[in-house]
Every structure is written in C-alpha cells, then in structure tokens.
Structure 1
Amino acid sequence: MKLLLKAVTIASAIVATPALATSWTLAPESSHLAYGTIKKDTVGEVNSFTNLSGHVSPDGKVEIEIDLSSVETNIDIRNERMIEYVFRKAGTATLTAEFDMQEVSKLGVGETSIVDAEAVLSLVGTAVEIDTEMFVARLSETSVMVSTNNMVFISTEDAGVNAGVDKLMELADLPGITRTAPVTARLVFNMDDKKVDAVTGGDIKAGKKVFRKCKACHQTKEGRHGVGPSLHGVIGATAGQSDGFKFSSSLQESGITWTAASLTEFLADPKGNIPGNRMQFPGLKKDEDIVNVIAYLQDKTKG
C-alpha cells in the first residue's frame, strides 16, 4: 500500500504545464488507492484508504498525504489493529516526487500516455523508493487522471511493517499473511482556479475579469483593432508601432517597449505617463489589478 501511495505522487507531478506556472490539487472523491492481501493461502482481500490529499506545485514538486487512520478493511477491529500495529499510530504517510513534465504537458484533451515514474514514500521513519509506469489521461483542460499501468507489488519488509503483520497474524490466529501486496491507484488532479503567470506573478483568472474594463476599446486577437489597438503580442512590442492602427504621435515617438514594468507605469496613469496620447481610460487604481491584467495579457497574447 505504501507503494501505491508513491504511485499517487508520481501521478500528480505529471499534470503540471511547464509554460504556465500552475498548481494542481488532488480530487479525493474521484481518486482511489487500494492494496490486496492473501491469508491462509486462499483468502484474498482488497483494502483501501479513504482520505487522500495532495498537490503539485508550480515548479513540478509533488506531495501526497495519506491519512493512515482512514484505512478501510471492511472490519472495524481489523482497521483498529492496522492503525495500532502496522502503522504504529502514525498520522500520515507522505509521498514526494519531482518530475520532468514536458512529455505529459503536450497531451490534448482525450489523449493518453505512459510515463516512467519515481517517487519516495515516507512512513514511520522508513523511506521506500518506487520505480514504475503510470498511465496518464487528459480528461479536460483542467483535469488529469493518473493510474498505475500495471499492478505494483510492495514488500512488507521494505516498507518496515513486517513486525506489524506478525502481530496481526497472532491476534487473528492466522497461519500466514502474504508479505508482498499488490497495489493499484487511480488519481485525479484538478487545476487550481488561481493560475499564476510565471513571469509576472499575477493571477490570470483575476486578470481576465479586470480586462473587461478594457474590452470596449481593445481586443486580444491579432490585427483586430477597435477604438484602441489590438493587444495581441503586446508584451515585448514597441509602443505606437502596430500595423493598421493610427497612433498618436506621442505614443509613436515615446520609444517605449511594452514590458511588465512599463505597462505597470502606463496602466496606473496613462495620461501622466505618456502625455498627449489619446487613451481616455483614466487608469487602474489598484496595484493588484494592474499585476493581474498584465498576467492575463502575458498569457492570452503569447506568440
């Protein structure tokens, strides 16, 4: 079961997109971790953990926590014994990983891939290294499912729980419990609502709302000018130089290159920053709005 946890961590890391610093959160209601045991040579059982949590950070680091007290064996007294003797009353097991997500980030909605995964499970002072394959499916633009491609087998000796298994055998008067457990995982991760641009640090979703104040005059489609010029590719462009739009001479002669810094100054006070330009909008008064709308433009008008 510890191995299963590791597999979960691997899955999480796969989800992040390198071009956009985005965090992802495990959806516990859609995820499932299970392991199997065999007793008396012929009696097979499937157990699971019902309380999982985790996330993938913008830099691709994965951390999954498994609430060990949520182990479900379908028998209350056995759950209690697992918690006391096998897990030694440890609160959680932690799975950590860090991955190169370049291959998986290319997946379109409905596409799948198989990726190699490595992770480390930490449980009661024992660290178990796992190397396996994971099946990854892009469910939507904002969700990814990761599952074990094959069963993963975990040694109770490697996991440091042999003594606990011995105690279970004694208490239940069993002649034997297998010391290798097959583990499977189905993990679903959802993109967090707050997407942060890697360059500006702004909240892209919040910036989209701020941009509604600009839409009366500006569009983000290339070449689509309105009352104001198209803002497609504005980051890195020279002020007053977009083809097909007649700018004021003050903008044309400003020599400004639109960067996050120069846009910040301009959006705070358009008239004061470049006197004589024809932009009627008085400016954004909140620093947070400026940072966020620049993040939105950075993301929306790339290329």
Structure 2
Amino acid sequence: MKLLLKAVTIASAIVATPALADGWTLVPEGSHLAYGTIKKDTVGEVNSFTNLSGHVSPDGKAEIQIDLSSVETNIDIRNERMIEYVFRKAGTAELTATFDMAEVSGLGVGETTTVDTEAALSLAGTDVAFEAEMFVVRLSESSVMVSTNDMVFISTEDAGVNAGVDKLLELASLPGITRTVPVTARLIFNMDGEQAAVSSTAPVAVAAVEGDIKAGKKVFRKCSACHKLEQDRHTVGPSLHGIIGATAGQADGFRYSAQLQESGIVWTADTLTAFLSDPRGTIPGNKMQFPGLKKDEDITNLIAYLQAETQG
C-alpha cells in the first residue's frame, strides 16, 4: 500500500519539468485506495479508505497519509473491528518515498509512462517495504494521475497485523481470511503555487482531430438537450464553447460539481474520449447523468465537430 502511494507521489513529481518544479499536493476527491480480502476461501470483498492526504516536495520526497478511521468495508461493525484490532487504533498510516524526477520528466499533457518504485509503509509501529509498477498520466500542466499498473500484494505478517486478523476470525466465527492482500490505487496530484493557478485556466493548444464533422453534428444531438455551443450559454449543462484545450470545471457562470472542478483535467482528444465513453467512471461523483457513448467512431466524430464549431 505504502509502495503504491510512494510510487504515485514519485510519478507525480517526476512528471514535473524544470519549469514546473513546485511541489505537488494530493487531491483526495479524485484519489482512491482499495484493497481486497477473501474469506471462507470463496467470498471476495473490496474495501477502501475514503480519506487520503499527502504531498510531494520539489526534490522528490513523497509523504502520503491514510486516515485509518476512514476504512470502508460497507459494514459498520466490521469497520469498527478493523480500526480496533487490525489497525490497533492507530490514527494514520504513513507512506514515504523518494524518487528520481528525471525518470519521467518532460511528460506532455496527455502523455503516459510507467515507473518502478520502492516505498515504505508505517503502520502502528511496524514498517514494511514494497515494490510496485505505477502508471503515470499528465492530465494538465498542473495535474497528474498515478495508478497501480498491476495489483500490489501486501503480507499481513509483514505489516504486523496477523494478530488483528486472528481476532476478526474469532469474532466473526470464520474458518479463514487470506493473509496476502491485493491493493490498487488511483492518486491525483495538483501542482502547488501560483503557477498552478495560472496553468489551471490557461487553454492548451490541441492538435486537430481527424473525424467526420458532419457525422459528429448528428452525434451532438444526444448532447444538445443539456449543452449549447454558444459562448456562456449555460443550461442544464455548461456551454461547450471553447472546450477543446480548456480545463474541466472552470467556465465562468456555471456551477460545476466539486469533483469536476478539482479534477485538473484538460479537455484534449484523449481526455474527452475517456470522459465521453464513461463520464462517471472517468470522474467519479460528477453530476453528468449521460451514461456515455459506446462507439469509438461517434466519439471521434463528436470531438471533431466540437473543435470545428467552438474554437472560434
């Protein structure tokens, strides 16, 4: 787990170019840390932590705090038992790491890379080291997202929580709970300082999209009930005027969800493609009700149409 966060912070800071050498702060609303358990050999469950915080310094030192009281197993009594017996009433677990920024420096907006990382997890007096491969994508000039490229497995023995797991077995009258836990993470970081504030609203130059504009106009009919193309004409949804190259959730005069405002995403062909195919999955918690377009061709044509019609 620590390793995952460490990798994430590393990746986020690494993404910074010399011109963007500020620190990076974790965005809890868009970040997600989950782990899985299997009990009775056949029952699989997914649990998570809902409160994360952290920072990456300009020199590549990463520190992530996990609020252990925010554990969510979807059963209240089990949450309480995890906090008392497994986490031993510790307030937080801390992930620390350092990284070589040169490893992923120079990523442009929309570009991705993978990095191998090493990190340490401190939990209730026990320290454990991990290794993981992290997937890094630069969402904008001031935002990066880091996620586990594969699952990371953590030994309950190494983490010092075997006694707590034994207690859970006793209280729940279970024959067994796995002692190796798979962990996945999605962490979003925003750049600190005034430069980040400037970058968050400045349009980004985006290459023209190759698509059928006429066909895209027909696809837009599915969007037109909520979105207009005229500048500042907001209805159920915000105006889409100038959307290509703009930062999500920043248009004046429309009340966006906090999730969209804080995502840091710049609307490029790649980010729009991801969002239009799965709006809720791309930015969890945003207010858009449309389930998404299922055909890649429709998405490409729609983006080409938006670029042609709204960039004037």
Q: Deviations for 1:244-287, whole angstroms, at most 9, x for unmatched residues?
A: xxxxxxxxxxxxxxxxxxxxxxxxxxxxxxxxxxxxxxxxxxxx
RMSD: 1.5
Amino acid at match of 1:132: A
1:262 alignment counterpart: none
Match of 1:60 in 2: 60
Equivalent in the alignment of 1:191 = 191
Q: Secondary structure at the match of 2:104?
A: helix
Aligned residue pairs, count: 195
The match for 1:73 is 73
Structure 1 range deviating more: 124-133 or 37-46? 124-133
Partner of 2:136: 136
Instruction: Flag structure 2 segments of 5+ consecutive residues without an equivalent.
Output: 199-312
- 1:42-98 CA deviation, whole Å, 9 max, x = no partner? 000000000000011111110000000000000000000000000000000000001
Moved more, 167-176 or 19-28: 19-28
Structure 1 unaligned spans of 5+:
197-203, 206-303
Contact 1:111 / 1:137 at 8 angstroms: preserved in 2? yes
| Counterpart in the other structure of 1:105 | 105
Give the aligned partner of residue 231 of structure 2: none
Displacement of 1:9: 2.1
1:159 alignment partner in structure 2 = 159
Aligned to 2:233: none
Matched, 1:26 2:23: no
Please identify runs of 4+ aligned residues in structure 1 that moved more than 4 A. none
Q: Does 1:115 align with 2:115?
A: yes
SS at match of 1:15: helix
**Which residue of structure 2 aligns with residue 13 of structure 1?**
10
CA-to-aligned-CA distance 1:209-238 (integer Å, 9 cap, x gap): xxxxxxxxxxxxxxxxxxxxxxxxxxxxxx
* d(CA) in 2 for partners of 1:188, 1:136: 10
**Pairwise CA distance, 1:18:** 5.4
Structural mapping, 1:248-287, within 5 Å: none
Aligned partner letter, 2:107: L
- TM-fit CA distance, 1:193: 3.0
Is residue 11 of structure 2 the alignment partner of residue 42 of structure 1?
no
Alpha-carbon distance in 2 for matches of 1:147, 1:165: 27
Cα distance in 2, alignment partners of residues 78 and 170 from structure 1: 13
**TM-score scaled to structure 1, two decimals?**
0.62
The whole-number CA distance in structure 1 between the counterparts of 2:194 and 2:72 is 34
State the alpha-carbon separation in 2 of the partners of residues 136 and 90 from structure 1: 31
Aligned to 2:139, the other structure's residue is in SS state strand
Q: Which amino acid aligns with 1:192?
A: D
| Separation in 2, partners of 1:105, 1:141 | 12
Q: CA separation in 2, counterparts of 1:70 and 1:101? A: 31
Contact preservation (8 Å) 1:65, 1:93: yes
**SS in structure 1 of the partner of residue 194 of structure 2:** coil
